[in-house]
Structure 1
Amino acid sequence: MSTKEDAASESKSRLEQLGYTQQLERRLNVPEVVGLAMADVSPTMAVLLLSAGVFAVGGTFSIGASLILSVVVIMIALCLAELAAMFPIAGGMYSLVSRVLPGPISWITMFNYLIQGVIIPASLALGMAVFLRDLVPGIPFPDPVVALVMLALATALALTKVEVGAWATAAMVIVEFVVLGIITVAALIHPHQDLAAVTFNPVLLNGTELTGLTFAVMLGTLAPAFNVINGYDAALGFAEELKGGPRNVAKAVIWSAVLACVLIVVPLAAAVIAAPDLATFFSSPAPVIYSVQSALGPAAGTVIGIGVTVALFNAMVSMLMYFGRGVYTTGRDGVWPPAVNRVIGRLNKFRAPGAAVLVLVVPTAILIVASALDFLIIFAGTVIAAVYLCVGMAALSSRRSLRNEPRPFRMPLWPVPPLIVIAFTALALGSQEAKYLIAELVLIVLALAAWAGSKKWSKKTLKSVATDPSPNQSAEMDPSRS
């Protein structure tokens, strides 16, 4: 038997051990999965759109926050890699946590994980409408209508064969790299700020004046920054469509995290360096585009606008594909009432989780009509931090509770990575504004209410090795287990 056949057999065997049959087809290699994850990360979108909210909160400390977060991101990726190699299932972070931690925490993780598949695409669609209006001022339709059209197009791609989505997103990722190159070149050609000064002596726009930052403001910058360097976990969502053994899932998520850090932090810092005036930079609705236009002229701004529009659309496609597979897995696991599970746990004629994708699209469209872009961007950082906190706890706990479980990949430096993840995410959550913490509390209450309800509507259909004493035998877990 060839090495490829051995790896394919290993993946199929591992999935069967976890209680699943192979339904999604293995059509992707590691570079293709990394490409899908990079589309989800969308470095261009992160630098040009999501960074605006971080600059507004933390000023030039956005650079320092991104550097700190890069270290945390690598620690998170190591935790994800170990867990994902153990449980190579399409449910992403929800599947990993649900097999290690108690039921209430699993449901809280699931709600925080899946809500990203609604919040982030809605913010992307609204952001795309803004950039399209700048490119084509004569668009006769309001932003929400334009955003809904873009959402419909992204949905159409997400419903097709997985390799079609992979090829489409790969082409658009190349466009993103060109845009990021332009931003970086702008800083190298026309530097106006000193990198050391803006990094180690950060300032913030307070009214019309630049002032120094307090420690509390710095802490408050961390959670929004989670939404900037994010999306590398999308590699997990394609675990059941990835060729090769479980170690390939670990490899894909680590590569995705490293590339995300480099491709976001470098252009973000470059944009600050290229800003002729920091006060104008911070007050601009698109600070990075202001820097590029100042350095290279209005024509460069147009190119950037085209690039970010492509990036936003690319990210929407990838996220609908990724989180759609998460919703599909919850249905296959029997988490919801049986009638719901039967609908969302099915694949369409393209072997894609069509109904699960549409479950995300409907509330996304509602949020688009609500047009709460600023709130969505920052709250997305809050729910992301909450999920990573649970991932850190799962990675730490699994070495004790699942000590006999096979580990195709073992993270180096254990237990340092999960301890750093837990401490950092808890700190980021604790420093959030009250309105975002209240929104997170509401989400937790809804998750716990659903967990309580699952005791009535669900039978023991959520498979888990978390309570299985044998590493080679699949067990079933009650979704409502305590």
Structure 2
Amino acid sequence: MSESSTPPPSSRLEQLGYSQQLVRRLNIPEVVGLAMADVSPTMAVLFLSAGVFVIGGTFSIGAGLILSAVVVLISLCLAELAGMFPIAGGMYSLVRKVLPGPFSWITMFNYLIQGIVIPASIALGMVGFLRDLFPGLGFPDTVVAVVLLGLATAIALTKVEVGAWATGAMVIVECIVLGIVTVAALAHPHQNLAEVTFHPTVLSNGELVAVGFAVMLATLAPAFNVINGYDAALGFSEELKGGERNIAKAVIISAVLACVLIMVPLISALIAAPDLKEFFSAPAPVVYSVEASLGDRARIIVDIGVAIALFNAMVSLLMYFGRGVYTTGRDAMWPAAVNRVLGSINRFHVPGAGIMCLAVPAAVLVFTSALNFLIIFAGTVIAAVYFCIGMAAFWSRRSMPDEPRPYRMPLWPLPPVAVIVFTGIALATQETQYLVAEVVLIALALAAWAGSKRWSPRPAPAVPHDVSERGLDPIA
């Protein structure tokens, strides 16, 4: 069926019970650029990968390759659901339209907590790289982190095009830095790719030992925080020009690019490591490999690239999750007075209140939490959200068989089943402290769900089943 027969996204929004308040100013490349800023390949390779290498050793490569396949399957699930429900709430909105209330609240809490935890961890992590560039920086780390968070918030509060252009320019710089890292690493290989991939080792008590099955499982959840952020394309669904299929295209393109731009330099850096013990012991293992190839001055290139990447990610994260907060207010998830504030937009036609609801607690978190805990716990909540997405993608075919699907994922039910199994294993094998934190978060979500029955004055917008038919063939 021709694309002209597909109702425009604004019409679909109205059919779902929403009005078009955000302005459609973005095209697919701009939305992909915003998503890639959220993915932040440079941050993932040079900053987030350190914790995964500590846990999994060289199996981090195997975990990354496995996760890359899962990421593509997740993106197929997201693409189908996002085409059905082109709403700015991202993954929270998709689950809310398909699964019962408790699941939507659990997803919402796990989803939105990322908009607080990840920017806080990024702001703290960025300070170390800035101190390398500017040794005379005389302010405490927490103060510098809060200032950086404030600057990112200021950009996120302006017109969406400004954020898209700024993040797009910084993504280009990131790719240049990653190219330098990759070329430098491959110019001086020291490890055998097959050996580190199929015979993984990890540093334990100062010695390299074979990676056991338990360690492999424990590596999966933290790895979720390395290849992540491609779902940010969904947050701009109501600002993307064109039909719902464009949303599906944007999220799939973002996911594939994320896998390539992260895994290629990550593998290259491991191959370039002269000494695996030194590599795993280094605060930033990939930086160790680059310095071994290019010399001490390579740190300047790395520091500049990571600083840009981290700041870029903060801007994109606040823009993305701020739109999620905005959607919860528009959905009347909270008491009426709160909904009026959260569901509002500022003079730049962006959800300013939603962004501030993330920035303020993130600034507080900078002063109270440990960086490593934030990074690994972020992987836990991400896995929990994807678990719910897999369930929603599977259940939607059964509970909504007549719902129009501008994009149908191929190989169904393999993608959602694989996502459910993989994320379930990743969650079950997390360390106790992160599981306890996740249980507390779930308990808070269920308490809020119970409370919403008292303060919600009206039911959620109904999902229609009699809208006009649309093309159902996969994306070309």
When normalised by structure 1's length, the TM-score is: 0.95
Dislocated runs of 4+, deviation >3 Å: 6-9, 468-473
Give the corresponding residue for 1:398. Answer: 396
Q: Where in structure 2 are the equivalents of 1:46-61 lying within 5 Å?
A: 46-61=44-59
Letter in 2 for 1:72: V
The match for 2:332 is 334
* Aligned twin of 2:204: 206
Matched ranges for 1:324-473 at <5 A: 324-465=322-463, 468=464, 470-471=466-467
3-state SS of paired residue (2:209): strand
Contact 1:125–1:312 (CA under 8 A) maintained in structure 2: yes
Displacement of 1:228 after TM fit?
0.3
CA displacement 1:8-58 (0-9 Å, x = unmatched):
961111111001111000000000000000000000000011000100110
- What residue identity is the alignment partner of 1:416? L
Work out the CA distance in 2 between the residues paired with 1:194 and 1:282.
16
Tell me the CA shift for residue 189 of structure 1.
Answer: 0.7
CA distance in 2, matches of 1:151, 1:404: 45
Q: How does 1:36-435 map to 2 (within 5 A)?
A: 36-435=34-433
What is the deviation of 1:462?
2.5
* 1:336 to 1:293, Cα distance in 2 relative to 1, 3 A: same
- The change in CA–CA distance for 1:149 and 1:139 in structure 2 (over 3 A counts) is same
Q: Secondary structure at the match of 2:8?
A: helix
For the residue of structure 2 that corresponds to 1:376, the secondary structure is helix
Q: Distance in 2 between matches of 1:450 and 1:330?
A: 13
> For each residue in 1:348-398, what CA deviation from the matched residue of structure 2 results, as whole angstroms up to 9, or x when unmatched?
000010011000011101111124100000000000000000000000000
Q: What is the CA-CA distance between 1:472 and the residue it aligns to?
A: 6.4
Distance 2:350 2:245 in 1: 24
What percentage of aligned pairs have identical amino acids? 71
Supply the RMSD in Å over aligned alpha carbons. Answer: 1.4
Structure 1 gaps of 5+ residues are: 474-482
Q: Distance in 1 between matches of 2:65 and 2:376?
A: 19
Q: Take 1:472 and 1:23, find their aligned partners in 2: how far apart are those partners? A: 23
Q: TM-score, normalized by length of structure 2?
A: 0.97
Q: Which runs of 5+ in 2 are unaligned?
A: 470-476
2:297 alignment partner, SS class: helix
The residue identity in structure 2 corresponding to 1:140 is G
Q: Is the 8 A contact 1:333 1:462 kept in 2?
A: yes
Secondary structure at the aligned position of 1:411 is classed as coil
| Distance in 2 of aligned mates of 1:471 and 1:129 | 51
Q: Secondary structure at the match of 2:340?
A: helix
- Deviation string for 1:325-344 (max 9, x for gaps)? 00000001100011100001
Q: Distance in 2 between matches of 1:298 and 1:179?
A: 16
Structure 1, residues 54-77: CA drift from partner, whole Å, max 9, x if none? 001100100000000000000000
SS at match of 1:350: coil
CA displacement 1:129-149 (0-9 Å, x = unmatched): 111111111110111111101
Paired amino acid for 2:343: G
Equivalenced residues, count: 468
Taking a change above 3 Å as real, the CA distance of residues 7 and 190 of structure 1, as seen in their structure-2 partners, is farther
